[in-house]
Amino acid sequence: MKRFLIIIAVVLFCVLAGNGEAGVSDHVSFVEITQGIEYGESSDPSDVEYCFDLCFFTDASVSGVEFLTPGGQTFVIPDELGNWDNETRTWTSHEFDEDEGAWEWCFERDFDDASGFAAFGDGMYRITVFYEGGGWEQTLIWFGVPGSTEFLDQPTQVPVPLFPERYTGVTSPVTISWEPCEDANAMGVWVWVEDAETWEGIDVGSLLSVDTVSWGPHSLSDGLYEAAVIFANAYQGEINADGIEYLVVKYAETEWDFAVGMDWVAFEVWGGNTDYTSYDQWWEYYQNPGLMTDYVLLGQTDGENLEVCGEYQYYVIRTFEDVGIDSVMGSDGSYLGQWYRTGNMSNPHLGLGAPDGEETVVMRDWALLTNPGDWSCLTVITDMEAICPTADLTGDCYVDFEDLAFLAAQWLTGAKI
């Protein structure tokens, strides 16, 4: 039955493509559909995310878009600069790409397991574009092996980077290397590396041979970098019946971070006096505080407790790996009651008050903290034992009358075994 439906879809593709739809290529220049498995720590295969993306470029005459999946669901990409739906874990955006000289429309959705792909699926995708002043056109993209009725096989092997090692510092030039790809579903390897500050970088372009195990050397300026190795089953440079170039990919990917010309930085703290959440694409400012001209870097660490000083209305903690934070203590000895706004955290509503047995907040990406009013310094505490006074006997990191009472209750008592 499935094979019959596929054949019907291909026939429908040819019929629609031959009935006045060719004009859509004057407005849509490129389509990309990808389905992937993205691994986190390569030593922990359970740290995995499943991702579906559909992106394409249009000219300025396109005012709205939607697409129908083989899974029978229709999705709309809003005419908005960027929008994250936390409930469905969907990112949509419509923005001008300076490099391509075209408007990019993107839909990205993440899942905890592969069952989320059912809403999308293999087969024919129908994309509808709506024009300023009225009118619409459609084009069809086959998410499968071009020129056939076959679906793409999904690579699943975890790419394991060998050099640079995760969370280490190296010198330039840098050659990226990884364990061999032995996944029968992969036809090649993609690699990319980008500056964590500017997001500019280099990528391999066309697929490398599947038996490739290194890429480089590349001259990289000093700084923090993110890299990825991708085992891919990909068809690029294909042209559909409307004359639109497209790319279809299924992949397995591992990303990791390293430093060039410096020691590795686990997190850093910035200070400033402007709340950028009212700005367009405000999240980009907090992902890269260097974009905020009135913010200054106060300090950075490889993961140890970090004390920084400076009287600012806002502080930004920016992480480059998962960081377990016990609390944030101010210069007056008080603890911050809650996060104001966060990027990606495992406990986004958990306050960072004084230690009380609560689970440590695991933070990644960034967090914006509001100065309670009179802090001139703050300490980000990742190891409470390293900062609590030795005379603290009750475990609250204060030396007070409770500690004295605890001492008095046991005065001149004990036993030597």
| Residues 224-276 pLDDT 10s | 899 999 999 999 999 999 999 999 999 999 999 999 999 999 999 999 999 88
Give the residue from 182, 248, 259 showing the smallest Cα distance to 220.
259
- What are the Cα distances from residue 165, in Å, to 175, 176, 215, 318? 11, 10, 15, 21
Structure token digits, residue 170: 């190296």
- Whether 225 and 257 have beta carbons less than 8 Å apart is answered as yes
- Whether 223 and 243 have beta carbons less than 8 Å apart is answered as no
Give the residue from 251, 236, 235, 248 showing the smallest Cα distance to 186.
251
Question: Per-residue pLDDT averaged across 58-68, rounded?
Answer: 97
145 and 21, same structural domain?
Answer: yes
The string of pLDDT tens digits covering residues 31-44 is 999 999 999 865 56
- What are the Cα distances from residue 134, in Å, to 13, 64, 205? 24, 10, 38
Q: In the Cβ-directed half-sphere of 101, how many Cα atoms lie within 13 Å?
A: 0
Residue linked to tokens 């949509």 = 92
- Whether 254 and 37 have beta carbons less than 8 Å apart is answered as no
389 and 271, same structural domain?
Answer: yes
Window from 95-99, 169-173, 282-286 with minimum mean pLDDT: 282-286
Give the residue from 302, 323, 306 showing the smallest Cα distance to 315.
306
- Whether 384 and 335 have beta carbons less than 8 Å apart is answered as no
pLDDT of residue 9: 38
148 and 242, same structural domain?
Answer: yes
Name the residue range of residue 236's domain: 2-158+229-255
pTM, two decimals, is 0.76
pLDDT of residue 350: 40
292 and 151, same structural domain?
Answer: no
Could you tell me if residue 166 is inside a domain?
no
* More confident position, 302 or 128: 128
281 and 150, same structural domain?
Answer: no
User: What is the distance, to the nearest Å, from the Cα of residue 56 to the centroid of all Cα atoms in its chain?
Assistant: 20
Could you tell me if residue 67 is inside a domain?
yes
Question: Per-residue pLDDT averaged across 358-369, rounded?
Answer: 72
Pairing of strands 83-85, 90-97: antiparallel
Q: In the Cβ-directed half-sphere of 284, how many Cα atoms lie within 13 Å?
A: 9
Could you tell me if residue 394 is inside a domain?
yes
**Residue 51 above 90 pLDDT?**
yes
**Residue 322 above 50 pLDDT?**
yes
**Exposed, middle or buried by CB within 10 Å (0-12, 13-18, 19+), for 306?**
buried
Could you tell me if residue 363 is inside a domain?
yes
393 and 352, same structural domain?
Answer: yes
pLDDT of residue 169: 94
290 and 246, same structural domain?
Answer: no
363 and 242, same structural domain?
Answer: no
pLDDT of residue 157: 96
How sure is the predictor about 200, in pLDDT bands with cuts at 50, 70 and 90?
confident
348 and 390, same structural domain?
Answer: yes
Could you tell me if residue 287 is inside a domain?
yes
The DSSP letter of residue 4 is H
Could you tell me if residue 185 is inside a domain?
no
334 and 235, same structural domain?
Answer: no
Could you tell me if residue 190 is inside a domain?
no
CA pair distance 33, 13, nearest whole angstrom: 17
Q: How many domains are there within the chain?
A: 2
3-state SS class at 408? helix
Average pLDDT, the chain: 84
How sure is the predictor about 11, in pLDDT bands with cuts at 50, 70 and 90?
very low
The string of pLDDT tens digits covering residues 129-173 is 999 989 999 999 999 999 999 999 999 999 999 999 999 999 999
Could you tell me if residue 251 is inside a domain?
yes
132 and 45, same structural domain?
Answer: yes
Pairing of strands 327-330, 341-345: unpaired
308 and 393, same structural domain?
Answer: yes
